[in-house]
Amino acid sequence: MTTTPSHSASPDAPNNESTVSEIGIGGPIGTVLRFIRRFNLPVVALGHRNLYRVLVQGEGFELPIEGSNDRLIGFFTTRFVAACSRLEAESLAQLHVVREWQGLSLMSYFTGTDEPCLSVIESEAIEGWFRPNKGQGFSFYGADTTSEGQRSHENAV
């Protein structure tokens, strides 16, 4: 979505130049990166690496729901990564989420938020050395969902 500079006969005319795409990285490199990220590649743990399952929560954005006044305000997602430590696994999982958020999912475009506020809910080493995919997608929730969950937790206590 790169635009070419406009050239006019008048030297006083504004230069409407844009060299970077408004959605993610532009140019041929951006196109290749978005194409590669579209494939759900396997995760392989070789050497001293282990497989980890990491549950990530994202907040700090509002996503309007078409035909409603409600808005989605958060999500959960699970990622599988190969790492040497739990801390590295959590960092890699968050990086994968941000890349998907800013990539072909277009979530950064629709929400107006380049990067959601991410937190790791849980992470654990899992058995094996191979996982057919790293996980993808988001399970969104709205404001009413969190308040109901908080109310039920408060009533239980």
Q: Smallest Cα–Cα separation from 63: which of 151, 154, 127, 142?
A: 142
The pLDDT confidence band at residue 32, using thresholds 50, 70 and 90, is: confident
Q: What is the pLDDT of residue 24?
A: 53
Place of tokens 């590669």: 36
Q: What is the pLDDT of residue 38?
A: 63
Q: Which two tokens stand for residue 96?
A: 């994968």
Provide the residue ranges of all domains of the chain, joining segments of one domain with +. 41-148
Q: Using the predicted structure, report yes or no on whether residue 137 has a pLDDT greater than 80.
A: yes
pLDDT tens column, 42-92 = 899 999 999 999 999 999 999 988 888 899 999 999 999 999 999 999 999
- pTM for the full predicted model: 0.68
Got the DSSP string for the chain? ---PPP--S-TTS------S-SSSS-HHHHHHHHHHHHS---EE--TT-EEEEEEEEEEEEEEEPTTSS-EEEEEEEEEEEEESSHHHHHHHHHHHHHHHHHTTT-HHHHHS-SS-EEEEEEEEEESSSEES------EEEEHHHHHHHHHHHHHH-
